[in-house]
Structure 1
Amino acid sequence: MRVDILGTKVDQVTMQQALEKVEEYIKNREHRHIITLNAEIIYRAQHEPKLKEVINAADLVTPDGAGVVWASQKLGNPLPERVTGIDLMLEIVKEAAVKGWKIYLYGAAPGVAELAAENLKQKYKNLKIVGTQNGFIPSNEMPALLADIKAKDPDILFVALGAPRQEYWIREHLEELNVPVSIGVGGSFDVIAGKVKRAPKIFQNMKLEWLYRLIKEPRRFGRMLALPKFALKIMQETRKKQRSK
């Protein structure tokens, strides 16, 4: 079942249910697009119809952040839990090492995907990472990248170009690549590579990872302004629903 949050549809799934979906997609060998959706991108989609279209066309949309879960509760159709991009990626990788799924990493700065791949392979000895490529290749090299992904035939393609660029890229190439699972994972490669430190557990447990990122990266302040605007929109929607009863 999907929950409507300001016109974007988010699946009512737990982490375990999302993993079961991933396994189903791989078994069926059909190209599927997974989006981990946060409040910032939902707010952006209010002013970007094409983005809303891409989100709602995805095969699985998980709530990436406490703000999305809070919004679902306020709107009276609660989501069970957060299923963030990096957590979902790490759980998929763990399963891939056991089940033999092949993985391809595309995105982040030069050298980061390779380092992330090495760190993952050190942790999971049987993990099959069949290819890596940074996210800064020139447009004239894109055909070679697409050919390489097709030739390597991964079961899972992780794309770390930042949202919503990664979502647009996956949607554009989804059918051509025919990868069973393609998922945008934002800055996850940087964290796995050790280039960026993830918020400490206390921030994660308090659902304040956004605050930690803002403290560490003050340049994100402009982007973070979307969060109070998102909250205001949700409160307005809540009041509308109450008046219509």
Structure 2
Amino acid sequence: MLHEFNLFNGSLQEINPSKKLITTLNAHSFNTLHKDIYFREALKSSDMLLPDGVSIVWALRLLIGEKLKKIAGADLFRYEMDRIHSTKGKCFFLGSSEKTLNLIRERAAKEYPYVEVYSYSPPYKPEFSDEESQRMVDAVNEIEPDVLFIGMTAPKQEKWAFKYYPQ
């Protein structure tokens, strides 16, 4: 099944900063996509799918002979924050509790003082109503961030991003 996915095989420096939906594939995601067709579609449809985990990298190497370099979500985060720090850009964190988002904003202010940081804490629930999702979309669009980080856990975040990315 791994051969069905077009995993990114390059370096972070090759990523064009234009709008795109970037997702990651790790062992948990791989196991989940077998049971969740919409999640599988969300991953396949992303503009860029990063191999986030040694297990995925090794499975590809052993099963189909493809050699990829692991790119963790944390690596992408640091790369994008450095990029928008150099341009005095804006980022938006969608998901998590208000307490956690406050900690993120405090740390980002110290490590990336030239980045404007915004956030939104949606309600904790398995699925959002259309109205709740629209409030999230509106909050993001009002800010027009250079980068949007979604932290709602897999597969919820990927499915939400896939559905609302065009907006």
Band of TM-score, shorter chain: 0.7 to 0.9
Q: Give the equivalent residue in structure 1 for 2:148.
A: 157
Contact 1:5/1:72 (<8 A) preserved = yes
8 Å contact kept, 2:88–2:114: yes
Return the alpha-carbon distance in structure 1 between the equivalents of residues 49 and 5 of structure 2.
Answer: 9
Larger radius of gyration: 1
Q: Could you tell me how far 1:88 is from its partner in structure 2?
A: 0.9
Is 1:168 aligned to 2:159, yes or no?
yes
1:141 to partner: Cα distance: 4.0
Task: Point out where structure 2 has 5 or more consecutive residues left out of the alignment.
Answer: none
Which one-letter code corresponds to 1:9 in the other structure? N
Long gaps (5+) in structure 1 = 26-30, 177-245
Aligned residue number for residue 76 of structure 1: 65
Q: Which consecutive segments of 4 or more residues in structure 1 shift more than 6 A? A: none
In structure 2, the partner of 1:121 is: 109
Amino acid at match of 1:90: R
Deviations 1:135-166 (A, max 9, x none): 42674544333222111111211000011100
Q: Following TM superposition, by how much is the alpha carbon of 1:95 offset from its aligned partner in structure 2, in angstroms?
A: 1.3
Looking at structure 2, the residues matched to 109 and 55 of structure 1 have their Cα atoms a distance apart, in angstroms, of 25
Work out whether residues 92 and 140 of structure 2, in 8 Å CA contact, stay in contact via their aligned partners in 1.
Answer: yes
- Residues in 2 aligned to 1:154 and 1:82: alpha-carbon distance in whole angstroms: 27
1:53 equivalent to 2:41? Answer: yes
% identity of equivalent residues: 22
Structure 1 residues 167, 125: CA separation in 2 closer, same or farther (over 3 Å shift)? same
The structure where helix makes up a greater share of residues is 1
TM-score, structure 2 as length reference: 0.87
Give how far 1:128 is off. 1.7
1:7 counterpart letter in structure 2: E
How many residues align? The count is 162
Specify which of 133, 149, 161 is matched with residue 120 of structure 2: 133
Aligned to 1:95: 83
